[in-house]
Structure 1
């Protein structure tokens, strides 16, 4: 068997074992459903479903009402469902049908509380970096954890019965130019062989229909469907994009600059998002004019999770709409920044959190960071952000310019942190991913700004899928405190897998960080994993 045949047979095997593991949860009969992920607000339920065969007349049955599916591919296997005008805080019975034939057992899913209501509790499960193809996930030194290990971590998180789940960025890793044209020969050779075996995406052809669609189902579907399957069918779920979801690492070199996304990146991203992952749903608190808004009012880049007057979670993509405008640049567009600051200033909701795809407080010397920190290669002049360190160790510096870094990113960072700290009653709270780490810090100052009166709690939520691809290996430095940032670290940032649980009440936010690493832990440890950091973040003036 040659290499091509081996890779192709491995893909088929991973698809078979992944689907069977994901779909055999309890006694619920999934029928031909391979993939089922819902989202919800107080009046809508949205659903993405992928089937093992063509479905001629796909229908979602919700409390006896039929909702016709919208096809998300050219083969009749993927569908989106959108049920509107529902009652808030109501448990609905759902089932999937083909015409009049029921395909699945019933299951239950609830809408969110009315925005004017006063619920007392919300539990959120949050993590980052869940992607990684099975062909890069086997062996003790693989870049990504095996799907079975990722599922085990996910199931441990779901065992706490969260009301909702949030996955931050890098749901898919299948970079194009940054791998195929890498400065490192071994990366070029490996990715070329892998991509030739699976099928090489054509960056000049449409994503929908034809060869690109079939390849995208292999390269992206194999990272998403075996992980989630139908496990999330009763858990509203929210997915925030980051750089790899646009099929490139965030890199700026003299040969390419990967963000903002080019046409092929937007097309590949749009197919994957439409076919597999639910959108952010429209809300009265989310302006209609935000970038990324679609005709149906949905958005794939910016959105909010509102839980009555108890909690509001603002989620934003720091890759898809970043700008390269020098002093006025931003990782999010100006109207998104205004929305974030306006909602943060409105304290009618008891607790508020920001969840950007890119972290506040830490740096690994990457190009697309809020911060100018860059690895000091020892050379003079402008430095390119380091990638593939080959065992070298670097110190970060701001004494040398980082190629294509934009001062406006830092300026926007300062404005966002200031609006978080300026809250009169609520603590500043921001959770993020990207850095393949877990930890909790309190930012007390940034540049010439002081947040001593209301420090900003910055949490790295923990990666689900990272194997050996830690920043310390790839970039020659672990995540470090960014320049001009002053912080305390109740739980210092470390390179470990894990997830975060938040329990939100009117008086405080209880945060639990969970961590695991395969080099010094067993798989069975995951099943009883307990938090290594457990703290209550109190509202200002609260004694509880």
Structure 2
């Protein structure tokens, strides 16, 4: 009798332990905040595989227990219960997975960043615009630029974010810059920054680093390892690109990945449990600045921009084009609501509601404008870009800057054109456009001017390749042909507008008419690298003088973010209505391009690296895997 009581007590104790121990373990992990179970598991096997095995094991063990005696049945039930409680514990642990975030200060051994978190400059021949953020709240900081003092302008409501606008500068001149507080105390070490050459001058060369998709928040990396490359690795890739000593950096969209509310991507990004645990949730009924939404946005965007760039680009003029994810949304046109089984298997709400994400709704627009206001320099004015273009000279920005349309003018060597194709999109069928007609006319006028060696379209959207996404110039959709994914126009693309392709051809035609200037399209959006010559676009015959185009690749793409990955599930190829000679077919690795521009040619070197496939140690010595050479028309 005593033995039976003892056995019963032991069983009760074991049962309590099974129920309580996992939650005690979770509590200790949450309180410590430094144990990354996933990092440990990845050395053994993928966490997703482990979870799937355990899920099936719990079910199988429970079912098979009925084939055994009563004694063994309880043992198997106990084993099944342990597995289930372990999975529940892991599910609760997910929001507490540690993050390893720090700003990028690659030369901290000899340059003191002080209280500065990030510096991103925009430059023209006579003006410098700095966007900055700090670890401390400031009052009336100033920029000392070679002895002249420029007052700061606060861009948040708490004194951590400021811009500095220095005007009436001399072309092709190196200035010494120093950030100071209101008492004149230095906030960081001084550094040099040069203005561009005069637009009518004849510079010999220009080196540009370009990429897309640099955004990504470690809190949006799923527990099973999908999402953008971790911040520390993206910083290494960026720093490798900067070791080539570029004169200019161009980010052609998707500096932010933090989608909310709409589509599948929001469930993996800003609406994920881990992201909410780190940043909080937006209140869509309130403005961003001056409410709790301000801190949510800073936590959501700060690690993606301020931490990625830090002070690494303080002496490099930068250009950043907005694309769909800056508006905290993917370009989705979902006709019917559905249940996504893949999300369910990954413990994510599988219900995906029908939606059309663009044009941006008021919150999306405010989020994009506020993020740009805090972190990214707008486009400085250019004498050949109308101040009447939409998004120009807003009351809450520096004078005459543009939020959406930009110019890189480097003497008479290069004129670069940049444009946001999301903010002003319209859905009016054959009259549909990605950019307003007056902005289109500006692009055409610049082609007609024919007064630089090269005219480069730095586009956040692909020219010459498609992966069947909605907001593309092209009507192609993904189909299966003989069991393989392919592009087709035999099926209509939901909410695609025929006017978009017409606008594409009008702009392309203007570039084909240039006699002395060599055109080039340097494209973002699609997370792959390609290069080739556009020979034909519908009825537009370009065979006598094909137009070169390339995709830069994404600095931070991983896994499902490639065109052939989970969302698109098809490699980038020329669309049905185009004829493209491909010099480089789709190369799916994270990376960037370095463009060496002279009067004779543009030599573009492609760099690629793949997370989980290539050793991280090789980043510092990464070499080009492909070179694309475009001779100038005059050859001088």
For normalisation by structure 2, the TM-score amounts to 0.79
Whether the 8 Å contact between 2:321 and 2:404 is mirrored in structure 1 is yes
Quote the offset at 1:25 in angstroms: 3.3
Distance in 2 (CA, whole Å) between partners of 1:305 and 1:65 is: 26
Is 1:316 aligned to residue 407 of structure 2?
A: no
Equivalences for 1:366-445 in 2 at 5 Å? 366-376=469-479, 394-445=485-536
Query: 2:127 maps to what in 1?
Result: 44
Offset from partner CA, 1:357-409 (integer Å, 9 cap, x none):
1011111111100001112389xxxxxxxxxxxxx964322111111100000
Quote the offset at 1:332 in angstroms: 0.9
Structure 2: 5+ residue stretches without partners: 1-25, 32-92, 336-353
Query: 2:53 maps to what in 1?
Result: none
For normalisation by structure 1, the TM-score amounts to 0.92
Distance in 2 (CA, whole Å) between partners of 1:508 and 1:60 is: 38
Whether the 8 Å contact between 2:208 and 2:246 is mirrored in structure 1 is yes
Query: 1:386 maps to what in 2?
Result: none
Change in Cα spacing, 1:277 to 1:202, as seen in structure 2 (3 Å) is same
Quote the offset at 1:26 in angstroms: 3.9
Structure 1: 5+ residue stretches without partners: 379-391
Distance in 2 (CA, whole Å) between partners of 1:529 and 1:23 is: 17
Equivalences for 1:166-177 in 2 at 5 Å? 166-177=250-261
Whether the 8 Å contact between 1:118 and 1:310 is mirrored in structure 2 is yes
Whether the 8 Å contact between 1:173 and 1:244 is mirrored in structure 2 is yes
Query: 2:339 maps to what in 1?
Result: none
Query: 1:346 maps to what in 2?
Result: 449
Distance in 2 (CA, whole Å) between partners of 1:107 and 1:122 is: 21
Is 1:223 aligned to residue 304 of structure 2?
A: yes
Offset from partner CA, 1:292-347 (integer Å, 9 cap, x none):
10241001111100001111100111111111111111111101110001101211
Q: Pick the aligned partner of 2:432 from 329, 342, 347.
A: 329
What do you get for the CA RMSD once the two structures are aligned? 2.2
Larger relative helix fraction: 2
Deviates more, 1:336-345 or 1:195-204: 195-204
Quote the offset at 1:91 in angstroms: 0.2
Is 1:517 aligned to residue 610 of structure 2?
A: yes
Change in Cα spacing, 1:502 to 1:69, as seen in structure 2 (3 Å) is same
Is 1:144 aligned to residue 228 of structure 2?
A: yes
Distance in 1 (CA, whole Å) between partners of 2:491 and 2:308 is: 42
Distance in 2 (CA, whole Å) between partners of 1:84 and 1:290 is: 22
Whether the 8 Å contact between 1:23 and 1:34 is mirrored in structure 2 is no
Whether the 8 Å contact between 1:431 and 1:458 is mirrored in structure 2 is yes
Equivalences for 1:24-103 in 2 at 5 Å? 25-99=108-182, 100-103=184-187
* Structure 1 counterpart SS, 2:525: coil
Change in Cα spacing, 1:139 to 1:507, as seen in structure 2 (3 Å) is farther
User: Highest Rg: 1 or 2?
Assistant: 2
Quote the offset at 1:507 in angstroms: 2.3
Q: Pick the aligned partner of 2:334 from 216, 241, 253.
A: 253
Query: 1:194 maps to what in 2?
Result: 275
Offset from partner CA, 1:134-162 (integer Å, 9 cap, x none):
12348884311111111111111111111
Distance in 2 (CA, whole Å) between partners of 1:539 and 1:197 is: 50
* Structure 2 counterpart SS, 1:415: helix
Offset from partner CA, 1:453-506 (integer Å, 9 cap, x none):
211111100110111121212212111211111011111122111111111112
Quote the offset at 1:189 in angstroms: 11
Query: Larger RCO: Structure 1 or Structure 2 (Cα < 8 Å, ≥ 6 residues apart)?
Result: 1
Offset from partner CA, 1:6-63 (integer Å, 9 cap, x none):
677667x534xx12x5365341111100111111000000001100010112111100
Query: 1:160 maps to what in 2?
Result: 244
Distance in 1 (CA, whole Å) between partners of 2:417 and 2:437 is: 15
Distance in 2 (CA, whole Å) between partners of 1:113 and 1:436 is: 33
Distance in 2 (CA, whole Å) between partners of 1:36 and 1:198 is: 23
Quote the offset at 1:355 in angstroms: 1.1
Is 1:462 aligned to residue 553 of structure 2?
A: yes
* Structure 1 counterpart SS, 2:408: strand
Whether the 8 Å contact between 1:141 and 1:467 is mirrored in structure 2 is no
